[in-house]
Chain A
Amino acid sequence: MEATLDSLLLGFSVAFRPDVLLYAFLGCVVGTLVGMLPGIGPLAGISILLPVTFGLDATKAIVMLAGIYYGSQYGGSTTSILMRIPGEAASVMTCIDGYAMAQKGRAGAALCIAAVGSFIAGTFGVIALTVIAPPLGAFALRFGPPEYTALLVVGLVFLAYMSSTSLARTLLMASFGLLLGCIGIDVMTGHFRYAFDIPELGDGIGIVPVAVGLFGLGEILSTPSHSVTTRVAAPRLAELLPNRTEWRQSAMPIARGTVLGFLVGIVPGSAHIISSFLSYALEKRISRHPEQFGQGAVAGVAGPESANNAASTGAFVPMLALGLPTGPVTAVLMAALLIHGVPPGPQLVTEHPQVFWGFIASMYVGNLMLLALNLPLVGLFVNVLRIPYAYLYPLIIMFCIIGVYEVNHSIVDVWIMLAMGVVGYLLRKFDFDPAPLVLGLVIAPTFEMSLRQSLIMSNGAWTIFFERPIAGSLLAVSAGLLVLSLVSFLLKRKDWRDKLAEASSAESQ
């Protein structure tokens, strides 16, 4: 413990040097911008700025690039809340209640809660990282295909709790998402599935065009400008900040989201996006007012935002402890470290303590900076809403097209986005919730791959899922959840029917 404190002090002494601070700040600003633009994600930002770091030393380089990474989380929530456009896939859940809060005039509060929640989650993540990285790393290594399958089954079961609409509709949407995820070349056999001879569909439908189209475009299409009558008055400072009730309502969700997100994030290769879905479902399940979800529940913003920030911090655990990237972003960060002659992995701590601890300390400093950056900007962002809607939504469409195109320089992605916009419009008309669709799409590739690999490994024996301890316990959890949900469903139905009977008998009197 002594040694850790000493090292942390070393780290902070590095992180607080003015030039290091400058680069951290630069990274955070670029990250926020990149996160706000729909489509372009931190990956593009980091890659583009990579050559710029060649002239810098390793610490400054990694501090700046990492700043882009978690800066984009903050930026992504901004567009989600203000315009219901997920700046990146992880912000999809924030779109739902965050935007609803904005429509009730509580945009400032939502932005603040998102920023503060992300900050707390990021800080916790950094502390956890420092203290328990190595043993966690070993645990994460025990995840094989059956464990992934089981984890994703848990995710799908949690879906059942997300239904503000009926269970059947939610599962229908999730299946639709799973189907969309099957489009593309099958990695294991080379078959083209549902690609209709369009080569761009080879790697499947991207999450970004779907999320942006479903949520952002779907919203715009359903809102003819003459119906936007809410005049957003210039907010006073007091209105920008969350009031006491809102703070109280966000405290526990932030805590839960942080822990949940961090745990999901440390699993190598897991889709961090599911952390925000899981948190949303959890909050909804244990909330005393589940009907508020979708109408602007504070927990629906606080939980997912904290979860996805904690998950992105947790993603550094396998990278630092094992030298294993958890996804494309950590892969680039590792490559950046390599280029600067600092091989990531267990020796990083011992051979390059300056870089390691400087990096950790700068994560803390970076989170602080982002909080300081975002809170004052809340007023500025809310003023964006005051642009007359008729001018605003064409601009939004433009940015969506730009952002989605920039990801792969593929116009097919833009067509997918437009198509999903139409789909989103129709889904709204028929009262379907698009969030499970995105979850299904995200989960599909990993789920299918893990499932098939598990079956290949065990030669077709289903029991492999129960023989391995982690997989078995995860499946037990999902079974338990299903049972609970069924029980409460039956109970509620009874309640609901009684209430309806009372109401109708009251009316008829």
Chain B
Amino acid sequence: MILRRDHVAGGAFVVAAAFLFAFSSDLPFGTLASPGAGMMPKLVLVLLMAFGTLLALRAGESPPLAEIAWGDFRHAATVMAVAAVATGLYTVIGFVLSVSVLLFTLLCLVERRPFWRALIVSIGVTVGSYLLFNTLLKSPLPPMPFWS
């Protein structure tokens, strides 16, 4: 049997839901007259398992797993990694630095734009936005910690 896309998708949901169901054993289900904190999540998890199973059973209509185009994976992963780094640094080194790094990395290293143009755009846009938010919109963005 060819492994089809919906087999994986449905199966993943069923497994995840089952895992979460076991994980939420400490949430009381309650009775009909006084529903507990666990009632809704458990019902929803059951629904997830049901629909996941349904999906996996009817997987015959979906294309085989191997046919999914993962060509953009490298690009997506890189963008994600850069964004994650910038987010991690956001409150630590402040808005201007972390976002300039974000923009510059994406423009220069990922997109291979000319170095100087990328640098100017990164810093210019970042500083411009910082000033815009600080003065016009009166909700300042995280400053650099060593500014104090």
Contacts and interface: CB of A to CB of B under 8 A. Distances in A.
Direct contact of A and B (CB under 8 A): yes
Nearest to A399: B129
Given A398-B102, A414-B87, A194 B41 contact: yes
Given A194-B41, A411-B91, A44 B139 contact: yes
Contacts of B34: 455-456, 460
A252 interface: no
Nearest to A397: B83
Contacts of B148: none
Interface residues of A, number: 58
Contacts of B68: 429-430
B27 A414 contact: no
A188 B37 contact: yes
Interface stretch (A220-228, A377-385, A471-479): A220-228
Contacts, number: 155
A169 interface: yes
B45 A398 contact: no
A220 B75 CA distance: 10
Contacts of A40: 139
B70 to A, nearest CB: 8
A418 B103 contact: no
Given A390-B113, A394-B103, A460-B32, A224 B75 contact: yes
**B contact patch SS:** helix
Nearest to A440: B44
Interface in A208-238: 217, 220-225, 227
A456 B33 contact: yes
Nearest to B17: A179
Contacts of A432: 9
Contact of B76 (A171, A222, A448): A222
A422 B80 contact: yes
A459 B79 CA distance: 53
B62 A179 contact: no
In this complex, the member of B6, B83, B84, B86 whose beta carbon has the largest number of chain A beta carbons within 10 angstroms is B83
Contacts of B37: 186, 188-189, 191, 193
Contact of A182 (B44, B90, B137): B44
B7 to A, nearest CB: 11
B45 A179 contact: yes
Contacts of A227: 72
A225 B74 CA distance: 12
Interface in A436-485: 444, 448, 451-452, 455-456, 459-460, 462
B51 A175 contact: yes
A391 B32 contact: no
A452 B35 contact: yes
Given A193-B24, A390-B113, A168 B55 contact: yes
B93 interface: no
Contacts of B76: 221-222, 224, 425
B102 A172 contact: no
A394 B72 contact: no
A208 to B, nearest CB: 15
A221 B111 contact: no
B48 A391 contact: no
A503 to B, nearest CB: 15
A336 B40 CA distance: 37
A178 interface: yes
Interface string B35-52: 111111100110110011
A452 B35 CA distance: 6
Contacts of A169: 51, 55
Given A390-B111, A414-B87, A179 B44 contact: yes
Contact of A398 (B99, B111, B138): B99
Contact of B90 (A224, A390, A405): A405
Given A172-B13, A460-B34, 8 more contacts: A179-B45, A189-B36, A227-B72, A390-B107, A394-B102, A397-B79, A398-B99, A431-B5
24 contacts: A166-B58, A168-B51, A169-B55, A171-B51, A178-B47, A179-B44, A186-B37, A188-B37, A191-B37, A193-B24, A221-B80, A225-B111, A394-B103, A394-B106, A395-B103, A397-B83, A401-B83, A401-B87, A405-B90, A406-B133, A406-B139, A422-B80, A444-B40, A462-B32
